[in-house]
Amino acid sequence: MFIKFTQKHEWVKSEGKTAYIGISDFAQNALGDIVFVELPQTGAKLESGKAFGSVESVKAVSEIYAPVSGTVTEVNSELEDAPELLNADAYESWIVKIELDANSETELDSLMNEEEYGEFCKNES
Amino acid sequence: MRTPLYETHQNLGAKIVDFGGWEMPLQYTSIIEEHLNTREKAGLFDVSHMGEITIKGYAAKDILNRLITHDLNLLPTKKIAYSFIMNENGGVVDDLLVYKINGDEFFLVVNASNTDKDYKWLKEKTAGISDVKVINQSKEYGQIAIQGPLAQTILQKLTGFNLSKIGFFAFDYIKVCDIDAIVSRTGYTGEDGFEIYCRQSHTKEIWNEIIIAGKNEGIKPVGLGARDTLRFESALPLYGHELSDNITPIEAGLKFFVNLQKEDFIGKDILKKQADKSTQKRLTGIELIDRGIPRDGYRVEKDGVDIGYITSGTYSPTFKKGLAMAMLSNSPDIIQPDSQVDVIIRDKKIKAKTVNLPFYKKKRRI
């Protein structure tokens, strides 16, 4: 399983046709206390670059954008009662599990790897 | 602009944000943690951005009395009134604290972002009158707030003055860490506590001494994030949200701070009419039933009909749910507590109900 990042600070871990999506540590830190996560429905179609949910901190609302296209097979409903899990460990707390679309390979290729994302964050702060 | 504590905030690792041109700490660790620590123990706030304006002279009292809703003839020396500078339409130029220094001198504490507007307004209204002087002293003063149930215990360690002698909304000239200061029992959190005004150059020393003195009690610095959630839970109005040029104090549910018995003051006719009859809109509390966080500006509906908007909304750290204050149509089936309404969040109707304000009231002091 490998991890890729978007410029909007989402991560995607994929293996074969399955992928998990979450927000990065940089994102959770910038948001502060996360108090609400708006999750999509199972079965929802995600389109790369389009918002599919949102995370809210005490101060702000931030949309979550799909790093890749696919269909939601499971949502992390633990986050409904414990959204703060995203603060505690952003890389363990996935938000949705998806079945990747056929064209997702190219989408994945266009995302940043860990090192590139680290550099990207340095310029963000 | 920066307060004298800017470097202190940086050294504490605060997230700095722009607040009306001021570089202020949003949070040091976490808004929720800072909020709860203030409710349970004590919090320390840099509020040096607030404006301070002195109005003095033989005619000061009578002129100021025409501009605000409080009757200054009833305000004793060394007491403080929360009041509003009014415009001709019954709207609010600013909400402020009026400290009565003596019969001819008043110390006004105003919102940071309104300081210049207020100063201009006061200068305009006193133009050509030789017996009154208006002085903007905002640059001379630093201001720190210590709030929470342990505020007095901590501050008492730094002064020989018996703080129990300063009552609610009263002040005195005392020494804190041997530094001359004005100390009042006021604040913006709904907790007991004090606000301390000192010379700019002394602000840092008093801040540092309070942090040391309050270590065992668990005092922590608090940023603007928690300052907002604390004032929100206590339903203390924020200018630009619950109050504005277009919202009257009556509509905002603040009739208590309007003295309609006193002779003429700007905006009185409109406020009297509203108080006697009724207002079109009315500030109301809202609690979400479904999950979600209501935010400023979100619309509110009842049975599919738009009935108003949220003036301040957030996740409440004390009650651990989404709460809001909203300006709604003033009809009984809406503003009665427990009325079913919907908050429109990103085009979805989220179930909510109206509740009484404030959301939070502090426990009585023993």
Within 10 angstroms of residue B56's Cβ, the number of other Cβ atoms is: 19
| DSSP structure string for B130-143 | TT-EEEE-TTTEEE
- The tens digit of pLDDT for each residue in B294-316 reads 999 999 999 999 999 999 999 99
8 Å CB contact of B225 and A58: yes
- The tens digit of pLDDT for each residue in B128-181 reads 998 999 999 999 999 999 999 999 999 999 999 999 999 999 999 999 999 999
Q: Is B239 helix (H, G, I), strand (E, B) or coil?
A: strand
Shortest Cα–Cα distance, B30 to chain A (Å): 6
8 Å CB contact of A33 and B30: yes
Name every chain A residue with its beta carbon within 8 A of the beta carbon of B293: 35-36, 56, 61
- The tens digit of pLDDT for each residue in B212-240 reads 999 999 999 999 999 999 999 999 999 99
Name every chain B residue with its beta carbon within 8 A of the beta carbon of A33: 30-32
Identity of the residue in A36, A57, A59 whose CB atom sits nearest the CB atom of B291: A36
Model confidence at B25, pLDDT cuts 50, 70, 90, reads very high
Is B117 in the A-facing interface, judged by CB distances under 8 Å? no
Q: Indicate whether B365 pLDDT > 70.
A: no
Is B317 in the A-facing interface, judged by CB distances under 8 Å? yes
Identity of the residue in A57, A61, A80 whose CB atom sits nearest the CB atom of B291: A80
On whether the CB atoms of residues B316 and B232 are closer than 8 A, the answer is yes
Domain ranges of chain A: 2-104+111-119
Looking at chain B, which residue has its C-alpha nearest residue A125?
A: B15
**Along chain A (125 residues), what's the average pLDDT of each consecutive run of 10 residues?**
92 94 96 96 95 95 96 96 96 96 90 94 84
Is B223 in the A-facing interface, judged by CB distances under 8 Å? no
Is A88 in the B-facing interface, judged by CB distances under 8 Å? no
What's the confidence (pLDDT) of residue A1? Answer: 72
Task: Give the Cα separation of B277 and B270 in Å (integer).
Answer: 11
Model confidence at B204, pLDDT cuts 50, 70, 90, reads very high
Q: Is the dihedral of CA B186, B188, B193, B195 positive or negative?
A: negative
Name every chain A residue with its beta carbon within 8 A of the beta carbon of B32: 33, 35, 58
ipTM: 0.87
Percentage with pLDDT > 90 across chain B: 96
- The tens digit of pLDDT for each residue in B166-192 reads 999 999 999 999 999 999 999 999 999
Looking at chain B, which residue has its C-alpha nearest residue A79?
A: B291
Name every chain A residue with its beta carbon within 8 A of the beta carbon of B233: none
What's the confidence (pLDDT) of residue A124? Answer: 82
Which alpha helices (DSSP H) does chain B contain, by range?
A: 6-11, 31-40, 60-67, 115-125, 151-156, 203-213, 224-233, 268-276, 332-335
Model confidence at B288, pLDDT cuts 50, 70, 90, reads very high
Within 10 angstroms of residue B109's Cβ, the number of other Cβ atoms is: 24
8 Å CB contact of A80 and B292: no
Name every chain B residue with its beta carbon within 8 A of the beta carbon of A41: none
Model confidence at B291, pLDDT cuts 50, 70, 90, reads very high
Shortest Cα–Cα distance, A50 to chain B (Å): 15
Is B175 in the A-facing interface, judged by CB distances under 8 Å? no
Is this structure's pTM higher than 0.90?
Answer: yes
Name every chain B residue with its beta carbon within 8 A of the beta carbon of A38: 292, 346
8 Å CB contact of B31 and A54: no
Q: Indicate whether B364 pLDDT > 90.
A: no
Is B293 in the A-facing interface, judged by CB distances under 8 Å? yes
Mean pLDDT rounded to a whole number for chain B: 96
Name every chain A residue with its beta carbon within 8 A of the beta carbon of B315: 35-36, 56, 58
What's the confidence (pLDDT) of residue A125? Answer: 66
What's the confidence (pLDDT) of residue A2? Answer: 84
- The tens digit of pLDDT for each residue in B73-123 reads 999 999 999 999 999 999 999 999 999 999 999 999 999 999 999 999 999
Q: Indicate whether B356 pLDDT > 80.
A: yes
Name every chain A residue with its beta carbon within 8 A of the beta carbon of B15: 32
B180 vs B154, B164, B165, B189, CA distance in Å? 18, 18, 17, 25
CATH of range A2-104+111-119; options 2.40.110.20, 2.60.40.10, 2.60.120.1130, 2.40.50.100: 2.40.50.100
What's the confidence (pLDDT) of residue B63? Answer: 96
Looking at chain A, which residue has its C-alpha nearest residue B28?
A: A32
Is B321 in the A-facing interface, judged by CB distances under 8 Å? no
